[in-house]
Amino acid sequence: MDLSFNEKQEEYRQHAREWLINNIPEGWGTPEFEWPDDEVERGRILRDWDRKLYEGGFAGIAWPKEYGGQGLTHVEDIIFNEEAGKLNAPGGINVLGKLLLGPTLLLFGTEDQKQRFLPPLLRGDEVWCQGFSEPNAGSDLAAIQTRAELVDDKWVINGQKVWTSFAHHADWCFVLARTDQELPPHKGITFFLVPMDSEGITVRPLVQINGNRDFNEVFFDHVSIPKENVVGGVNNGWKVAMGTLGFERGTLALGRQVRFQNEFNTMVKISESLKKNGESISENSYYRQKMAELFAEIRILRYHGLKTISQLLNEGKLGPEASLQKLFWSTMHVNMGKLGLEILGEEGPYIGKESVGRGVLQEIDFGSRGETIYAGTTQIQKNIIAERVLGMPR
């Protein structure tokens, strides 16, 4: 048991922190930060951040240098994410490219694909979105109906994807499509790389319950792409898609944890400013107990994060136990949202600039409702734990 980082790693932390402090625009990530209303402008701000990260040497920290990465280890990646979390730095716009596509290509891509796609991804020149979910294939991802057929040496894709984050900013999309109707569902799927400016692609925005419009519906109508835009072989897409899910996410654990800690501290601050029955909420035993319980869970999330990282470093991969982490933090965050609204009490309905906390606690309450759904719902995570970890019968 050794939960400390060594001197060299602490030096890297210092370096990362200094860079972040000097480069994050003032107020970024705080509730007072004012986003432009224009979606294109929002995209530009985020893409600029990705470019800055690249120039600062903080993109693809654990990726090989030959593909534009920094050639460091997961430890440095984790440390950077933790420091970025402390300062509430944004994740940028190419989250899906960095978290999912990059590691997938590193593991399953051809040399040509790695050289073609990884450097522009890290530079922020090419933004990626993920074309997995469909209207009838959410939790049951293998039920996708989007199909791809080989016509005259080109793949022709038809179908619809949904909940596609950043599709309206993306240059490329990694798409799962059915390439064999006869094979069992998991076996007839292929992983494709599709340019978003292809003819036949239509992107329609979807607005989330918190008012953000991060995601979209994407329609593919006879979209034709080059034959070689396949990753990991035809009909091997399920294996490719599953191979990297949850892998890089482990490195985000500590970063997420400190963001929750920041939110908690904001909640404390708000609780000090509100009174019930003549005493400040932060002095009231009921709320103290609830906040302490939440704080304990935020800390335990950190312990889980350290364990996950330790597993990643020592064994090189994460097991189904990683489902625990997703289940834990998303459920905890929903509870944080509930408690925030309890603390706000009669101030709860108001989310404008003049409101208590400028709507930051409500944002947790709304935003967390998506977190128990995306990347495998709470119920799917529980099935995974019950079946694959505890061995309960299907």
Partner 1 sequence: MFFGFNDEEKMLRRSVRDMFKNKNTSEHVRAFMKEQTIPPGLHKLLADQGLLGIIDLNGSQDGKGMVNAILVAQEAGRFLLTYPLLESMVGLAALKTCSKQEEVASEIESGEKVLTVAWTSVDAKARRSENGYVIDGTLREVPFAKDADVILANVRILGMGQTPNEEETLVLIDPKNPNLVIRDANSMDLTYPLYEVSLLNYPLNESAVVNRMGMGAGHQLMEQMLKIGALLLSAEIVGCAERTLYDTVEYTKQRKQFGKLIGSFQALKHMAADMYLKVESGKSAIEYAAWAVDTDNEDADLAISIAKSYTSSNGVQVCGDAIQMHGGIGYTWENDMHLFFKRARRSAAVLGDSYYHRENIAKVAIDGIEGKREVGSKKPIVVEV
Catalytic residue numbers?
248
Q: Which of 7, 22, 26, 184 binds partner 1 (CB under 8 A)?
A: 26
19's tokens: 């860079």
What is the closest distance, in whole angstroms, from the C-beta atom of residue 112 to partner 1 in the complex? 36
Look up residue 128 and give its amino acid. W
By C-alpha distance, which of 253, 215, 210 is closest to 365? 210
Return the half-sphere exposure (C-beta side, CA atoms, 13 A cut-off) of residue 38: 4
Residue nearer to partner 1 on the CB measure, 245 or 268: 268
What is the closest distance, in whole angstroms, from the C-beta atom of residue 117 to partner 1 in the complex? 31
Q: What is the C-alpha separation between 297 and 339, in angstroms, rounded?
A: 13
Considering only residues 115 to 154 of the shown chain, the ones binding partner 1 according to CB under 8 A are none
Considering only residues 345 to 374 of the shown chain, the ones binding partner 1 according to CB under 8 A are 357-358
Q: Which of 258, 344, 361, 364 binds partner 1 (CB under 8 A)?
A: 258
Give yes or no for residue 87 binding partner 1 (CB under 8 A): yes
What is the closest distance, in whole angstroms, from the C-beta atom of residue 139 to partner 1 in the complex? 12
Considering only residues 206 to 235 of the shown chain, the ones binding partner 1 according to CB under 8 A are none
CA 359, chain centre distance (Å): 22
Length of the chain: 394
Q: Which of 115, 145, 224, 262 binds partner 1 (CB under 8 A)?
A: 262
**Residues contacting partner 1: total by CB under 8 A:** 71
Q: What is the C-alpha separation between 309 and 314, in angstroms, rounded?
A: 8
Q: What is the C-alpha separation between 273 and 328, in angstroms, rounded?
A: 30
Look up residue 364 and give its amino acid. I
CB 160 within 8 A of CB 220: yes
Count CB-CB contacts under 10 A for residue 30.
12
Residue nearer to partner 1 on the CB measure, 74 or 154: 74
Give yes or no for residue 336 binding partner 1 (CB under 8 A): no
Give yes or no for residue 291 binding partner 1 (CB under 8 A): yes
Give yes or no for residue 324 binding partner 1 (CB under 8 A): yes
By C-alpha distance, which of 176, 16, 166, 175 is closest to 83? 16
Give yes or no for residue 330 binding partner 1 (CB under 8 A): no
Give yes or no for residue 35 binding partner 1 (CB under 8 A): no
Q: Which of 117, 132, 215, 264 binds partner 1 (CB under 8 A)?
A: 264
Find the part of the chain contacting partner 1 (CB under 8 A) among 94-102, 122-130, 132-140, 259-267.
259-267
Find the part of the chain contacting partner 1 (CB under 8 A) among 44-52, 56-64, 84-92, 134-142.
84-92
Residue nearer to partner 1 on the CB measure, 236 or 284: 284
165's tokens: 């984050």
CB under 8 Å, gap of 24 or more: what pairs does 56-61 form? Answer: 56/19, 56/23, 58/16, 58/19, 59/98, 59/122, 59/123, 59/124, 60/98, 60/102, 60/118, 60/122
Give yes or no for residue 185 binding partner 1 (CB under 8 A): no
What is the closest distance, in whole angstroms, from the C-beta atom of residue 306 to partner 1 in the complex? 5
Give yes or no for residue 245 binding partner 1 (CB under 8 A): no
Give yes or no for residue 390 binding partner 1 (CB under 8 A): yes
Q: What is the C-alpha separation between 309 and 82, in angstroms, rounded?
A: 12
What is the closest distance, in whole angstroms, from the C-beta atom of residue 368 to partner 1 in the complex? 17
- The C-alpha angle with vertex 247 and arms to 242 and 249, in degrees rounded to 5, equals 115
Q: Which of 51, 86, 154, 369 binds partner 1 (CB under 8 A)?
A: 86
Give yes or no for residue 45 binding partner 1 (CB under 8 A): no
Give yes or no for residue 261 binding partner 1 (CB under 8 A): yes
Q: What is the C-alpha separation between 363 and 29, in angstroms, rounded?
A: 13
Give yes or no for residue 266 binding partner 1 (CB under 8 A): yes
Q: Which of 50, 76, 297, 363 binds partner 1 (CB under 8 A)?
A: 297
Which helix (DSSP H) or strand (DSSP E) does residue 388 occupy? none
